[in-house]
Every structure is written in C-alpha cells, then in structure tokens.
Structure 1
Amino acid sequence: MKCLQLITVIAFSVCSVVSANAGVLTLSGTIYDKVAAEADFEDPCCSGLVTGLVSSTLAADGLPEFVANDGDGDITSAASFDAWWMDTNGTKAFDLDLTETAPDSGIFSYTDSAFFPIDNELAGNEGRNHNYHFTMHLEGITTFRETDVFAFLGDDDLWVYIDGKLVMDLGGVHAAVSDTLTGADLMAMGLAEDTEYDLDIFFAERHTVASNFNIATSFRVKSEVPAPQVLLMFGLALCAVRLLRRQSN
C-alpha cells in the first residue's frame, strides 16, 4: 500500500515538473574563468570577425582545435587556445534556459545584451564593472527538420558543432555579429531530419566592455544531463518493480 501511495506521489510530481518546464529548453555546461593577464584575453585586440580558426570537427577530447597561424584571431598559439577550456582561474556549472517566444510558436530564445554570468565570482572582476574574461562550453542533444533555423547574435568567439561537425564559425575578438543556420544547411552536410545529434556550443568573452549572447532557434534541444522528470520516472519504475516482486513472493 505504501508503495502504491509513493507511486501516486511520484506520478503527480512528474506531471507537475513537466508542466513547470513546458516552454523551456535547457543547455548545460561549464564556464571557465580567465583573467586579463592570460594569453589571448584583453590584449592584443581587436582582430574582428575571423573564420577558419578552429578545426572542422571536434578532437577526440570533444573540444575544437586551433588550426590557424599563431596570432590569427588574436590567439597566440594552439597551446594558449587549449588553455581556454582548462581550469586556470576556476570554473562554474551553468544552465542556459531558452524560453518559448510565444505559446506553441516552436521558437525558443535566450537574449542578453549584458552577458556577464560570473560577475564577482571565481577570479572576480579585476577592478572592473564586470568579469569580462571567460569561456563557456554548452552541451545538449538536438534534432531538426529542413525548415528549422538556429540564429545567433553576439561577441566574441562563437563556434557551434553538431554531430562533431563545425556548423557555425564566428571567431575572433569583435563587436556583436550574427549568423543563421538552417535544417537545410545541415541536410546538405549529410545530417538527417528527426535524428538526435550531439550539440556543442563554444563561446569566449575576451575583451572589455561589451558582451552579447543571443540565440533564437526552432531546433529541438535538450540537455545531456537527465532532467528532474526523468529521474522521477526512474524512481517510479524502481518502486513498481519492488511492488511486483513483493506480490510475486
């Protein structure tokens, strides 16, 4: 009887969580704090938009590789670029929530023209108004259809990989720039509609004083980290198994 009561409670909780999360897509990842004295941050400046700085596919460690000439895009070397994705001044787990722009629109967005997610944290602001120097790696699972779009507007570097392939390339220290990717573009690269692929977004804020991060997409996106309702369903299943075993004894 207690197990049946627990099943009822869990089922109600699942419904509540699903309802609360309706209209929100979440990408989870890590922010790596940097300081102005580190290579590639603050000085030198400013290259402007530079494409072709990183590998067309992710390396075995799941990260992009610097493939341009030393100094291109204000990046000192491959070694300095590798340090972007290392804990040199602290890290922070980060969830980025994209909310539906209108009910049942299928368009989800995140908009921030002052994107400073680690102000006064980790290495701190270094005497400035904001913590201007950091990198971020967001991960998720995505599916798409031919007519879907993924649009970005921001600064500085932004690279998007789907299925380990570079699909958006906005490198360099620059003012806010934009780009748009469509499902048709992905199909031309050999990817298929309604198929789950890994999504990796790499972002760097490298110079004072602006930081913009804006996404609008109709791609379906979900976090690689199990959502609360998934964990609840798992608990429900375990309880049901326990009940069945007791009844069979």
Structure 2
Amino acid sequence: MKQLNLITLIASLLVSPISLADTSNASPQDYDEICQCVDPYNGVRKIPVVIRDFKDSHPDFENMIGTDRGIVKNELGADGRPVYANPHTWTPTTHGEDSFNQWFRNVPNVNTAIPMQLEMVELSPGFWEYSNSDFFPINDMGFGNQGRDKNFHFTLETHLKFFYVEGGSFSFKGDDDLWIFINGKLAIDLGGVHSVQEKVVHLDDIADELGIEPGNTYSFDLFFAERHTTESNFKFQTTFELQCL
C-alpha cells in the first residue's frame, strides 16, 4: 500500500464461535456480553464480530450486481446501525427499507447470528491488519452452504472504540458492501455488489466532518456484507488500537 509504504501480510481468522446470550433485538450496547478484545500478545489483537448468515432467496442477496453508493444515511440510527437512505424507493442492488433492515438485526428464519472473533496482526509498531482473500468464515454453519462449496451470503458487524491520535489512518479493501462509521458518522462507503474496491482514509483530513478532535475517544462501527457467489475479500488496516466499548 503506497500511502503507508508497509508490507502487507495475511492474518488468519479465528473461526470459533464464542458464547453469546440471546441477541434478539440486540443493540450495540449488548456487545458488552461478547466484547473480549484481547490486548496485544505476540503481535495479535482479537476483536469480536457478529456474522449473520442469510439464505440466497433473500431479495438483496444473489441478485443485482454493481457499485451502489448512498444505500445508507451519513449518520447511524438511534440503535447504532445503518439507516436506509431512501425508504420510499430501491437502490440498484437493494430492495427497500424492510429488506435492508434485516441485514444487521436478528430475524428468525431470515438470518442466523454467529458470534466470532477476528485476529488482527501488528505488522509494525502501532500498525494493525486483518487480511483474508478467501473470507468465508461461516462455511457449513447457519443455513449451510446451500448446495455450494462455500457459504457466500452473510453480513458482519462490530462496534468498537479508539483513542484519536493525530496522524491516524485506516483502510479497507474488499467486496462486497462496507461501511465504517466514526463517531456515528459515515467515513467509508463501499456499498454495492462488486469486485474488490479499496478506500484509504487519513483521519486528520476528515476530522471536522466527523466532529472529532485529537485526544478523545470515539466510537468505531464497521458493517460488511458478502452477497454474491464469486469471491470474498476482507482486508482492513489501521493505526488505531481498537478496543471494546
């Protein structure tokens, strides 16, 4: 990655479910129950995520293809999750507010929530990465692979916090949809069913837009979706020392 002039390594995913109480109608505050961020040990930091498996019959999965910016509003909703931007219409790859609202909420017979952890590796002092070019963490889980060799239809979310130090940066490279919110405001929008796309953000450049100042702690919310049977890439790099809420 030229902007950071660092060698990219590949980290592995710890694919082992962790204990989670009933998350029906869960909000990010409920993540205290599974939030087990592990402090660096041998250059590894573990962060909790919730992955929801979907059937390919869901209208937003295995359907339309294309880059689709503006699916969500620029601020998180009161429940800490993305808000569908245009409730009275569809976007090129989604089918309305009701369908989208199922992505990051537990809905019986529509999705199955599976709590996991991702292992981030410290590539150099203070620079962390998770990278997986074959990102299929729930193969044979949830509703299963639905006749395929891999489980292609799922969403992922995590709710964390970080201490803002000047010069901080983060980037994401992958497919499909990815939204990152800082202080409840949209910082990265890679919405759509698409091949690998990348976005690099230097926090100082957008601090005013996000309403943040160095020396303070802010929320960090990440939402991802894999919606099509081609490939799945997930690469995240940051100088933030992400912590649980």
Q: What pairs with 1:62-101 in structure 2 (closer than 5 Å)?
A: 62-68=80-86, 70-87=89-106, 88-101=110-123
* Unaligned runs of at least 5 residues, structure 2: 1-37
Deviations for 1:211-234, whole angstroms, at most 9, x for unmatched residues? Answer: 00001111221123xxxxxxxxxx
1:52 pairs with 2:88: no
The answer to whether the Cα contact below 8 Å between 1:145 and 1:183 also exists between their aligned partners in 2 is no
Deviations for 1:130-152, whole angstroms, at most 9, x for unmatched residues? Answer: 10000111111112323121010
Secondary structure of 1:208 counterpart: coil
| 1:52 CA drift (Å) | 1.4
The answer to whether the Cα contact below 8 Å between 1:157 and 1:173 also exists between their aligned partners in 2 is yes
For the aligned residue pairs, the C-alpha RMSD in angstroms reads 1.7
Residue 118 of structure 1 corresponds to 138
- Aligned-pair identity in percent equals 35
Rounded to whole Å, the distance in 2 between the matches of 1:23 and 1:73 is 41
Structure 2 letter corresponding to 1:199: F
Residue 180 of structure 2 corresponds to 160
Residue 217 of structure 2 corresponds to 196
Residue 172 of structure 1 corresponds to 192
Rounded to whole Å, the distance in 2 between the matches of 1:191 and 1:25 is 25
Larger radius of gyration: 1
1:131 pairs with 2:127: no
| 1:23 CA drift (Å) | 2.6
Match for 2:41 among 16, 21, 26? 21
Secondary structure of 2:103 counterpart: helix
Change (3 A) 1:208 1:38: same
Question: Quick check: 185-194 or 172-181, which moved more?
Answer: 185-194
Match for 2:201 among 165, 178, 181? 181
TM-score normalised to structure 1 length? 0.77
| 1:70 CA drift (Å) | 3.1
Rounded to whole Å, the distance in 1 between the matches of 2:83 and 2:186 is 11
Residue 243 of structure 2 corresponds to 222
| 1:22 CA drift (Å) | 5.0
Rounded to whole Å, the distance in 2 between the matches of 1:205 and 1:153 is 13
Structure 1 letter corresponding to 2:227: R
Structure 2 letter corresponding to 1:125: N
The answer to whether the Cα contact below 8 Å between 1:146 and 1:187 also exists between their aligned partners in 2 is no
The answer to whether the Cα contact below 8 Å between 2:157 and 2:223 also exists between their aligned partners in 1 is yes
| 1:188 CA drift (Å) | 2.6
Structure 1 letter corresponding to 2:72: V
What is the aligned residue count?
203
Of Structure 1 and Structure 2, the greater strand share is in 2
Structure 2 letter corresponding to 1:42: E
| 1:186 CA drift (Å) | 3.7
TM-score normalised to structure 2 length? 0.78
Deviations for 1:129-188, whole angstroms, at most 9, x for unmatched residues? Answer: 110000111111112323121010000000001111111111010001000111213423
The answer to whether the Cα contact below 8 Å between 1:73 and 1:173 also exists between their aligned partners in 2 is no
Rounded to whole Å, the distance in 2 between the matches of 1:219 and 1:167 is 14
Rounded to whole Å, the distance in 2 between the matches of 1:25 and 1:162 is 20
| 1:36 CA drift (Å) | 0.7
Rounded to whole Å, the distance in 2 between the matches of 1:73 and 1:22 is 44
Match for 2:167 among 147, 158, 167? 147
